Chain A
Amino acid sequence: GENVEQHPSTLSVQEGDSAVIKCTYSDSASNYFPWYKQELGKGPQLIIDIRSNVGEKKDQRIAVTLNKTAKHFSLHITETQPEDSAVYFCAASRANFNKFYFGSGTKLNVKP
């Protein structure tokens, strides 16, 4: 089955800096890659996603890039704010399957 690896496990940045979280996947048939943010006591929240026919997608301060050849995708957060502090998860799924494989999570701490 699919194996999604996520790095780093923890990331501490100064407010205003950029943060980058990287994931790799093993199944070349995976073609949909969402990112989730989980705050304490809450369920994960979808923040951005990308499909395999696109190399990059942006939404305000958040962007995701995908390299299908290398089987890796990354989340970029610019101008970080304290409210960005949370655990971030990447995920991957195959076409016609509503079953996601999640990375192990990155705890992002944005210091004011």
Chain B
Amino acid sequence: KAGVTQTPRYLIKTRGQQVTLSCSPISGHRSVSWYQQTPGQGLQFLFEYFSETQRNKGNFPGRFSGRQFSNSRSEMNVSTLELGDSALYLCASSVGQQYGYTFGSGTRLTVV
């Protein structure tokens, strides 16, 4: 079966711009979570969506937002980009709570 698909794989943006990342979960997985991965901070939870509702949220500023569509596909948006937002953004889907995630390959965002 198809895995978690994230697009684009790589992105270069300028400070102050905004960006939208996309994630298509495994068919049948209704929970989609987003993580930021950096060498300094490791894997940090951004938010989780289930049935189009944000169910859990991490400790990130309001510039980070997301949404989920009726087909479970999800997008995350980062506005007013800062250099520190440069990271690998990972999307993960699961069948439900406390089941292991299936991660996508991530979107590598570079802010210059």
CB contact under 8 A between A46 and B101, given known A89-B43, A98-B31: yes
Which A residue sits closest to B106, measured CB to CB?
A43
B98 x A93 contact (CB < 8 A): yes
Which A residue sits closest to B43, measured CB to CB?
A102
Number of A-B contacts (CB under 8 A): 62
Chain B 74-88 residues near chain A, CB threshold 8 A: none
CB contact under 8 A between A46 and B43, given known A98-B48, A99-B58: no
Does A95 reach chain B (CB closer than 8 Å)? yes
- Please classify the interface of chain B as helix (H, G, I), strand (E, B), loop, or mixed, using the class held by over half of its residues: strand
Q: In the complex, which residues of chain A have a beta carbon less than 8 angstroms from the beta carbon of B103?
A: 36, 43-45
A105 x B97 contact (CB < 8 A): no
B104 x A43 contact (CB < 8 A): yes
Partner pick for B90 among A43, A103, A105, CB 8 A cutoff: A43
Scoring A residues 81 to 112 as 1 if CB is less than 8 Å from chain B, else 0, what string do you get? 00000000101010111111111110000000
Interface size on A, residues (CB 8 A): 26
The range of chain B's interface size is: 20 to 34
A34 x B55 contact (CB < 8 A): no
Partner pick for B55 among A43, A49, A95, A98, CB 8 A cutoff: A98
Does B33 reach chain A (CB closer than 8 Å)? yes
How near does chain A come to B82, taking the closest CB pair, in angstroms?
A: 23
Q: In the complex, which residues of chain A have a beta carbon less than 8 angstroms from the beta carbon of B43?
A: 44, 89, 91, 100, 102
How near does chain A come to B31, taking the closest CB pair, in angstroms?
A: 6
C-alpha spacing A105/B37, complex, angstroms: 11
Does A61 reach chain B (CB closer than 8 Å)? no
Does B96 reach chain A (CB closer than 8 Å)? yes
Give chain B's interface residues, CB within 8 Å of chain A: 4, 31, 33, 35, 42-45, 48, 50, 55-56, 58, 90, 92, 94, 96-98, 100-106
